[in-house]
C-alpha cells in the first residue's frame, strides 16, 4: 500500500511523515477509537473521482463517536469538506480508499472514555475498485461475533477489529478466504468485515440490525438496488447456519470488498454449483455502474471530488 503525500492530522493537512502519535496515546493502548472506510472511484471518461456515500459514512462516524462518549464539535458537512480537501491536495487520479479515524489522543494510562480528548485524522491511499473476478471460499468461524452489551458492533470501533482479525486469520489458516460469524445465540451475523446476503427460493434475505452487525452503508445500497432496480424486497430476519448450506446464492458486501460472491461455504458449493447466481450478478452490475457515477438512478450516491475545480 503506497503512502499518500498529505494526510489530515491535528487540524491541518501535513506531509505523511509529520503525522505521528506517541507510544502513550490512549487509543494505541486501549483500542479507543472509531473509524470509517470510504471509497472513491476514478472515472476516466469523466476525468473525475467520485466519493461513494461520503455523508452516510460520516454520519456513522459521528454515531460511533457518540456511543464512545467522544462528542466531536464537527458536522457531517465539515467532515466532507476536510475529506474533499485531502483528496484534492493529493491530486489522486485513480481509485482510492479514505480512512477517517477519531481517537482518544491523551497520553495517559487508565481504561476509560470520559474526560479525554478526541482527535480526528484522515488519510487516503490508492486501492483498485475492480469488481471481484470470482467467488470466495467461506467458513463459519469458531469465534462468535461480539455482543451489543459487551462491545457494540453497530459502532465501528478500532478495538473491535480484534474480533474480526481472529476470525479472518483462523479462516485463512484453515484454507478459506473469509469467515462468517455466528452470534452468541447461534444465528448468522456477518463476515469478518462485510455484511451478508443470501437468496433462497427467489427471496433476498439478510440478518437484521439486532444480529450484532455493523449497519453497513453498502448493505443499504444493496437493498436499494434490489428494490429499485430488481423489484426485489429484502427480508431482514434471523438466519440459521444451515440456511447458508442450502441457499441458492450468497454474497458479502462492504465498502472494501464491494459485492463479493461466495462460491462455497464449509466445503459446500453455494447453490449446488458454486457459480455466481443471477441476483448476485445483477446487484454487482448495478453497483459497479453506480459507484463510478454512471447510474442515473443512483446519481446521488456519489460526490465528485474535483467538480468545477478540475481541469
Ligand atoms: C464488520 C463489518 N461489517 C460490515 C462492513 C460493511 O460496512 P460498509 O458497507 O459500511 O463498508 C464492514 C466494513 O466496514 C465491517 O468492517
Q: Which atom of ligand 1 is nearest to the CA of 219?
A: 9
Q: Which atom of ligand 1 is nearest to the CA of 218?
A: 9
- Each residue's pLDDT tens digit, 125-174: 999 999 999 999 999 999 999 999 999 999 999 999 999 999 999 999 99
Residue 291: predicted pLDDT: 98
- Each residue's pLDDT tens digit, 31-80: 999 999 999 999 999 999 999 999 999 999 999 999 999 978 999 999 99
- Each residue's pLDDT tens digit, 272-304: 999 999 999 999 999 999 999 999 999 999 999
Active site annotation includes 3 = no
Start-to-end CA span in the chain (Å): 28
User: How far away, in angstroms, is 244 Cα from ligand 1 center?
Assistant: 20
Percentage with pLDDT > 70 across the chain = 99
**Among residues 53, 137, 156, 168, which one is catalytic?**
156
Average model confidence (pLDDT) across the chain: 96
**Given ligand 1 and candidates 152, 194, 251, which is best to mutate, with the most ligand atoms within 8 Å of its CB?**
194
| pTM of the shown model | 0.97
Residue 309: predicted pLDDT: 47
SS3 state of residue 284: helix
Ligand 1 site residues (CB inside 6 A) read: 37, 164, 190, 193-195, 214, 216-219, 254-255
User: How far away, in angstroms, is 310 Cα from ligand 1 center?
Assistant: 31
Name the CA dihedral angle for 164, 4, 34, 160, rounded to a multiple of 10 degrees: 10
Is residue 311 scored above 70 in pLDDT? Answer: no
Amino acid at each position: 500500500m503506497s503512502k499518500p503525500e498529505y494526510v489530515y492530522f491535528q487540524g491541518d493537512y501535513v506531509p505523511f511523515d509529520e503525522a505521528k502519535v506517541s507510544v502513550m496515546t490512549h487509543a494505541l493502548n486501549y483500542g479507543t477509537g472509531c473509524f470509517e472506510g470510504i471509497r472513491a472511484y476514478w472515472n476516466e471518461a469523466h476525468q473525475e473521482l467520485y466519493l461513494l456515500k461520503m455523508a452516510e459514512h460520516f454520519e456513522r462516524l459521528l454515531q460511533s463517536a457518540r456511543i464512545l462518549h467522544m462528542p466531536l464539535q464537527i458536522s457531517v458537512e465539515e467532515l466532507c469538506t476536510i475529506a474533499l480537501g485531502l483528496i484534492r491536495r493529493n491530486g489522486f487520479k485513480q481509485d482510492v480508499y479514505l480512512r477517517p479515524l477519531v481517537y482518544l489522543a491523551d497520553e495517559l494510562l487508565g481504561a476509560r472514555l470520559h474526560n479525554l480528548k478526541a482527535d480526528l485524522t484522515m488519510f487516503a491511499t490508492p486501492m483498485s475498485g475492480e469488481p471481484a473476478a470470482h467467488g470466495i471460499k467461506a467458513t463459519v468461524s469458531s469465534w462468535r461475533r461480539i455482543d451489543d452489551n459487551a462491545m457494540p458492533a453497530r459502532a465501528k470501533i478500532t478495538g473491535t477489529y480484534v474480533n474480526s482479525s481472529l476470525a479472518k486469520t483462523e479462516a485463512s489458516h484453515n484454507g478459506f478466504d473469509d469467515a462468517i460469524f455466528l452470534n452468541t445465540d447461534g444465528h448468522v451475523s456477518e463476515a469478518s468485515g462485510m455484511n451478508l446476503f443470501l437468496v433462497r427460493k427467489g427471496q433476498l434475505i439478510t440478518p437484521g440490525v439486532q444480529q450484532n452487525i455493523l449497519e453497513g452503508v453498502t448493505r443499504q445500497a444493496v437493498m436499494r438496488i434490489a428494490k429499485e432496480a430488481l423489484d426485489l424486497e429484502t427480508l431482514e430476519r434471523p438466519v440459521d447456519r444451515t440456511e447458508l448450506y442450502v441457499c441458492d446464492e450468497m454474497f458479502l458486501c462492504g465498502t472494501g470488498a464491494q459485492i463479493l460472491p461466495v462460491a462455497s461455504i464449509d466445503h459446500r458449493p453455494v447453490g449446488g454449483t458454486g457459480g455466481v447466481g443471477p441476483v448476485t450478478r445483477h446487484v454487482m452490475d448495478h453497483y459497479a455502474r453506480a459507484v463510478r457515477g454512471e447510474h442515473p438512478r443512483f446519481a446521488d450516491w456519489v460526490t465528485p471530488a474535483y467538480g468545477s475545480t478540475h481541469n
